[in-house]
Amino acid sequence: MKIEKYLPSEKLQPFIESLMIIESEAGMHNSILPDTAAVMAFRLKGGISYSDAAVQEHFPDSILSGLRKAPHAVHYEKNTAMLLVKFREGGATAFLRTPLHEISNTSISLDLLLKNTDEITSRLMEARSNTQRIRIISTFLEKALLQQEQDAMITYAVQQIRSAKGTASIPALLQELYISRDAFEKRFRRYVGTTPKHFSNIIRFKNIIDTHTVNQSLTATAYAAGYFDQAHFIRDFRIFTGKAPREFFRDGAYW
């Protein structure tokens, strides 16, 4: 597998974390863990399929994947390639009229959300180099921008949840922001794509996975993440990764 990562243009940087081109000559199978932001994907060549639980579907030419509660699998056949647009939290809202929570736990064909996606996909497939592909997709996204500013309140809330590694007190955050829970949650779901609680859980488990070492016991890992009941920790971990903690860290095949 070959991965090339590119920084977005200055105009796109407030909304997009990175652009990636993934190529596989031999074919591969990846488990994709829940993440904190939507991802836009374009098939460049070859056959790609993705599955959730027992449902498997062929990858269309372009899709947008929303935030998920559980992992999903992506299978690349031989000689395949795809381009990914990894948004920042809430970044996809700058390009869409559809609230992000309406596409949570699913992937939707991009032509249902944006115009001219068939034309752009064809140009990406026909491009002679990855550098040219990045220019094509960057120009397309710059023209597709609907708004130039982020939601300052939700952006601040996301930063506080991140700083606390997913353990921030939502009631305390509501007091600081002078907003009711109902109004905050509606605004958060529309902008980020999920509830503050679920977003916090994703941050917490990503931190667990990033910081766990082979020398650290799972009990210590659970306590460090704020769990005092190991059975509860294992249950939540299995929901997030599809595996028990020991099995997950042993296998190590995930994104």
Give the model confidence (pLDDT) of 146-180 as tens digits. 977 889 999 999 999 999 999 999 999 999 999 99
CA distances from 177 to 15, 99, 174, 181 (A): 23, 22, 5, 10
> What's the burial of 111, exposed, middle or buried (CB within 10 Å: 0-12/13-18/19+)?
middle
Strand, helix or coil for residue 208 = helix
CA-derived radius of gyration, the chain: 19
Q: What angle do the packed helices 196-211 and 230-241 form, to 10 degrees?
A: 100
Cα 163 to Cα 140: distance, rounded to the nearest angstrom: 33
Return the pLDDT at 2.
Answer: 87
Sites in the chain below the pLDDT cut of 50: none
Closest CA to 102 of 66, 74, 71, 139: 66
Cα 197 to Cα 9: distance, rounded to the nearest angstrom: 32
Cα 12 to Cα 148: distance, rounded to the nearest angstrom: 9
Return the pLDDT at 95.
Answer: 95
User: CB–CB of 12/141 below 8 Å?
Assistant: yes
Return the pLDDT at 40.
Answer: 96
Beta-carbon contacts of residue 58 (< 8 Å; ≥ 6 apart): 47, 48, 49
Beta-carbon contacts of residue 232 (< 8 Å; ≥ 6 apart): none
Return the pLDDT at 70.
Answer: 86
Strand, helix or coil for residue 156 = helix
pTM: 0.89
- Sign of the dihedral through C-alpha 109, 115, 119, 125: negative
Helix, strand, coil percentages for the chain (3-state, nearest 5): 45, 20, 35
Backbone angles phi, psi at 112, to 5 degrees: -85, -10
Return the pLDDT at 26.
Answer: 83
The residue length of the chain stands at: 255
